[in-house]
Amino acid sequence: MKSNYKKLGQFIQTVSIKNTDLKVTNLLGVSITKQFIPSIANTIGTDMSKYKVVKKNQFVYGSITSRNGDKISVALLEDDEAIVSTSYTVFEVIDKEELLPEYLMMWFRRAEFDRYARYMSHGSTREAFGWEEMCDVELPMPSIEKQKEIVKEYHTIEKRIKLNEQLNQKLEETAQAIYKEWFVDFEFPDEDGKPYKSSGGKMVYCDELDMEIPEGWEVSTYKETMNIVTGKLNSNAAIIDGKYPFFTCSSETFKTNTYSFNTEAVLLAGNNASAIYPLKFFIGKFDVYQRTYVITTNNQRLSNQQIYFTIKNELENFKGVSSGTTTKFLTMQILNNLKILLANEEVAAKFHRTIKEFFNLISLNTKELEKLNQLKEILLSKMATIKD
């Protein structure tokens, strides 16, 4: 053990407070991303008094590692009280003047900790990282002042990441509102700058959609207006420190050292156990899993941005049309036959000019987010060499 390293067991203790009075109703679980998430367990008829209460600045972890993708589920509660399943272990720092809970949580976020926990897991049917193994964890224990300094630096990066994520969300929401105004409500600006439909713009009945659409607009199919291809890589092509984004059927974006595409495209997952198909928009170099669709326009009256929002509006419907039992598949046949509305050339060009600035800003923010996340990982890796 390094001179400033100490075993965690002397600084933590388990906590087991049951929800006997049923006052706490916020039931949470812990994800492998080390965050609390709303529990999806069916609790109808369940005795909630047996669940464990978690308080602010207490930790929760699940000991089973064999089904967690080589990661250990552990999180620090930063909000009000919650309850968790009895399968979780709840623990706390004994003396916060010796060890900051936030500093300890930083150690748990390190990839090296996950590898250590997985290596130290044991068992026959299911491998687990038990409480004894948790207590044997060794970590550098600098002064409390140094811990506060490290935590402050980490939180500064996290706040910037959160700000960028919120900005991207706001930009996409604004872009989606513009899409709805133009392609759902048909209130795009007419030649006088007034909302088309409500200002008396001519509408014609469309048999294929069983509704009125603006005069000069048409209905086509995905097959006729889009290039839809899939990637060629297996899921194991993901590399932790890869150079390029690697899109799979997961909501998470991974990394790889190759790229097969260098373009602006819509990425759509082609399979999912729950028929929830992650959808993304990307500009630049990337690679793709063999069941993920890369979709781009081949029609001058259709922008990739319109494709993105059109598919986004279809995601809920995909649950009912996708095939398969254990895994649901979104086949090419399903996509090819879907309908899409084409504006006239003037409106289509104006929409693209209006909307692409939002996506360009999102792309720039995403690149900054990537750098910030890399900086965060560097800070976590440096914890192993911390000295006062």
- Tokens, residue 113: 């900790």
Q: What are phi and psi of 13, to 5 degrees?
A: -150, 150
Evaluate if residue 90 carries a pLDDT over 80.
Answer: yes
DSSP 325: S
Across the chain, what does the average pLDDT equal? 93
Query: Do residues 244 and 285 lie in contact, with contact meaning Cβ atoms separated by under 8 Å?
Result: yes
**Residues 250, 238: Cα–Cα separation, whole Å:** 12
DSSP H/E element including 341: strand 339-342
**Per-residue pLDDT reduced to its tens digit, 187-207:** 999 999 999 999 999 999 999
The larger pLDDT score, comparing residue 145 to residue 80, is at 145
CB environment 262-282: b (16+ within 10 A), e (fewer): eebbbbbbbbbeebebbbbbb
Domain with CATH 3.90.220.20 in the chain: 5-141, 164-375
Q: Where residue 143 falls among pLDDT bands split at 50, 70, 90?
A: very high
Q: Where residue 71 falls among pLDDT bands split at 50, 70, 90?
A: confident
Q: For the domain 5-141, what is the CATH superfamily, name and number?
A: DNA methylase specificity domains (3.90.220.20)
Say what percent of the chain tops pLDDT 90: 82
pLDDT at 125: 77
**Per-residue pLDDT reduced to its tens digit, 259-288:** 999 999 999 999 988 888 999 999 999 999
Q: What fold does the segment set 164-375 form as a domain? A: Adenine-n6-DNA-methyltransferase TaqI; Chain A, domain 2 (3.90.220)
pLDDT at 159: 96
pLDDT at 322: 82
DSSP 209: T
pLDDT at 95: 97
pLDDT at 1: 54
pLDDT at 93: 98
Lowest model confidence (mean pLDDT) among 4-18, 150-164, 314-328: 314-328
Once rounded to an integer, what is the mean pLDDT over residues 234-249? Answer: 90
Evaluate if residue 240 carries a pLDDT over 90.
Answer: no
